[in-house]
Amino acid sequence: MCAIDALGIAQMLRTSVLIRSADASTGAPITVAVDESKTVWRPATTVVFVGRTAGECAGPSAAICCEYINFFTSHSTAEAWAGAHPEITGGILRQSRALEVGEQSSGSSSNEISRQVSNATRTSHGDHARPGQSRGKRRSSAGQAGVRQLLTIG
């Protein structure tokens, strides 16, 4: 499950959720507690990188973007990971924008999620997007792509 999917689970199930993850670059622990009234991010500097393979814009979200939608402990670690993966097109989302995209995508089809991911990577509301750099479809093993999130529901 990608970071955006995890953020949308609380709204989809209408219950509180505790997300446990790790920075995809450093492995440092990250937790996000989501309920109806608030969201608590630890560390407080946590961001979400929303990416997709550079050469593909359509298809199932699992194939083109889920592996590249991860939590990071800070903007700088997300930026470093993105710099090490030029084959991935994407952007860094602030917490509020990441939560908004997660809530919008809960219960959506994979094509709808792919569209929302594409829209989210555009610069908006102060988020930082990186222009696409199409250098083929290779996947780098540098860093951890597709970090799994552990959810505690309820």
Average pLDDT over residues 115-119: 57
pLDDT tens for residues 33-52? 998 889 999 999 999 999 88
Please determine, for residue 131, whether its predicted confidence score (pLDDT) is greater than 70.
no
Cα–Cα separations (whole angstroms), residue 86 to 15, 46, 56, 74, 110? 37, 22, 14, 19, 24
- Looking at the domain covering 3-137, what would its CATH class be? alpha beta
Domain range list for the chain = 3-137
